[in-house]
Structure 1
Amino acid sequence: MDRAASENETHFGFAEVPLGQKQGLVDDVFHKVASRYDVMNDLMSGGLHRAWKSAMTTAIGLPKGARQFTLLDVAGGTGDIAFRAIAAGGPGVAVTVFDINDAMLDVGAARAAKRRLSDRVTFIQGNAEELPFPSSSFDAVTIAFGIRNVPRIPVALKEMRRVLKPGGHLLVLEFSKVDVPGLARIYDAFSFGVIPRLGKLVAGDGEPYRYLVESIRRFPDAETFANMMRDAGFEQVTATPMTGGVAALHVGFRI
């Protein structure tokens, strides 16, 4: 992240804030957008997040048969990735959804009940920097569009590696740096000029969307983040750009 900031400081969008304040500020953003989370992602990605999530779900390698497979989805409170995984895998797939935000978890739990999936999808509240699970608990860990909101990303990455079984893998889907010059200009104009206005129009408040745009711009490029995963102990790390680098899928294994 920003090497100019001290170890006791971080960023909330473009603003520099004390490390201890970021989580509360992020929580406030997601309390505001929880009921419109799908709309938020559609605005942020032009609807492409659905295709990107499908690609990540495929990359998990979920078994189709009855073999037991445990998936931890971090920062996945609304259940979007969990429901995709259940649909893609066999009856042995079980998902634990972990999120720090209770409003997001409430949305996910209600959706699971409506889909009659409460017996296969468990919702737990907590901090990604302190996962309350034994080591070597999960076959795979996923986090989609959530890692950039974690105050101490290296700590969270080490925790995700810890709870993976040997041979298990982490999949991180996150917005990235656009690598097509013409597209980059268009995307910047859309992100800063249009998304906050759409957020205000659709959700009644443009400020959460402004933070989310700024947090995307502060997040490192795909190769830099891949190196962060390597530093956390992951091996065979790959970074696959999507849609000209608007997003990237990162995969790393615990060997």
Structure 2
Amino acid sequence: MGILEDKDRARLFYKYLSKVYDRVNPFFWTEEMRAEALELLDIQQGDRVLDVGCGTGFGTEGLLQYTDDVHGLDQSRHQMEKAFEKFGKHDRVAFYRGDAERLPFADDSFEYVWSSGSIEYWPNPVATLRDFRRVVEPGGQVLVVGPNHPTNPIKARIADAIMLFYDEDEADRMFREAGFTGIEHHVMGPPRNPDVAITTVATVPK
């Protein structure tokens, strides 16, 4: 387990990263990548969507292009304060401070769950994905963006010491164990690093 797959360490990390997050983020997760990921879903106006690990609201901003019913959850107070500056506390987005492993929502509450840049910090990804499945209605979908595992052995050892990196096979295993069907993986990234991220879309069985 990487050093940032610990919730207390991750919160401390984002206390400082939040100050520069929106300037650093485009090196790894661009507007073009976000648009490509959003096109993998069929979100319609009025669909209820949860953004888990919403951070400063980069993914949230994209979701709002499709529906006005967007809900954002994050464990970092400092990241959420940046999101409040963009969207207001109670205006365009309903925000919640909470844990991705214990979502504070009833079963079948959403048509979609979106999560970008969060899975790498989860101590128990499969359990978290099961909770995603719980809060999405049957036939709904989840989309998770995480860091693709480096193929270079030295980079892989460094990556594994920091947080969760995984490849398509591991993503497939996690989503199947969590009970999803219709699982698709898409490797994406900016031109200088086109395979930096892995985006998985999966369906909640009816």
Deviations 1:156-214 (A, max 9, x none): 111101000111101011110356xxxx59x95xx99xxxxxxxxxxxxxxxxx9x895
Pairing 1:237–2:168 present? no
Is the contact between residue 2 and residue 160 of structure 2 (CA under 8 Å) also seen in structure 1?
A: no
Who is 1:176 aligned against?
A: 148
Shift of 1:94: 0.8
Out of 73, 79, 86, the position equivalent to 1:111 is 86
Pairing 1:141–2:132 present: no
Coordinate RMSD, CA, aligned: 2.6
1:127 maps onto 2:118 in alignment:
no
CA contact (8 A) 1:223 1:239 kept: no
Confirm or deny that 1:28 pairs with 2:19. no
Deviation at 1:227, TM superposition (A): 1.5
- Could you list the runs of 5+ residues in structure 2 that have no partner in the other structure? none
CA distance in 2, matches of 1:35, 1:149: 19
Query: Runs of 4+ in structure 1 displaced over 4 angstroms?
Result: none
The C-alpha deviation readout for 1:7-51, integer Å capped at 9, x for no partner, is xxx3315xxxxx8xx1101110011111211222234x2xx5322
Could you say which structure has the higher helix fraction? 1
- Alignment: residue pair count: 201
Q: Give the match for residue 207 of structure 1.
A: none
- AA of the residue aligned to 1:223: D
Q: Max radius of gyration: which structure?
A: 1
SS at match of 2:144: strand
TM-score, length-scaled by structure 2: 0.87
Say if 1:214 and 1:54 are closer, same or farther in 2 by CA, change over 3 A: farther
**Larger RCO: 1 or 2 (CA < 8 Å, sep 6+):** 2
C-alpha separation in 2, matches of 1:49 and 1:213: 23
Q: 1:108, 1:33 → 2: CA distance?
A: 14
Which residue in the other structure is 1:94 paired with?
69
Q: TM-score, normalised by structure 1?
A: 0.71
